[in-house]
Amino acid sequence: MSSSDNPKKQPAKRVRGVIPEGPYDDSLDVTPSAPTQPQHAPGAGSHQKQTAQNDVGALQLPKDALIAMRKSGGLKFSTQQVVIFKDGRVVSSSRPAAEPRVLTDAQLAELYRTLDSLDFSQFTSTSGQQNPDAYAYEIAVRTGRTTQQVEVLDGSIPEPLAPLIRLLRQLM
């Protein structure tokens, strides 16, 4: 038998992806674009941030809220938020459908003691760039008739603020 009588079968070629027709990006555009719905292209990895998740405005305190904190960032970019009301109700974005929790009197007293020990006017606004794997913490707190806000980054959290962030993260 000759080799031409029994040719080796060649494996079928598999196409693992295609480059779509159309324009391509050949420049850096730093102007913000309008929010769009995230598109999940075939083969898109989980590392891509979703536009709707990133387009969140300044942290706002709802009526009768005492404090709110938003934690965003991390390896698989995520955003979580917690709001604590003056009466002890806790509303968390990680439990949106659940009935709001209520802090015990001891927990609420601890929160008030922690807040009373802080002078939010001493914390300056964030500068520098966030590590892509770290978290940013935005805090809005009602002190008397005013609302004060501060944003801090993992690795540069002021020591007096650390206990408050630990307490609020436990409530998320």
Per-block mean pLDDT, blocks of 10 residues, the chain (172 long): 58 63 53 40 36 57 92 87 93 75 93 90 70 87 87 88 93 86
**pLDDT of the residue at 107:** 94
> Where are any strands of DSSP class E within 7-159?
65-73, 78-85, 89-92, 101-102, 135-143, 146-153
pLDDT computed for residue 120 by the predictor: 83
Q: Please give the pLDDT value at position 55.
A: 43
| Domain boundaries along the sequence of the chain | 58-121+131-171
Q: Which residue has the tokens 């995230």?
A: 38
pTM recorded for the entire structure: 0.63
Which residues, other chains included, contact 100 with Cβ-Cβ below 8 Å and sequence gap of 6+? 89, 90, 91
Q: What is the DSSP letter of 86?
A: T
C-alpha 84/C-alpha 66 separation (Å) is: 6
Residues 89 and 102: beta-carbon distance below 8 Å: yes
* Sign of the four-CA dihedral 104, 105, 110, 114: positive
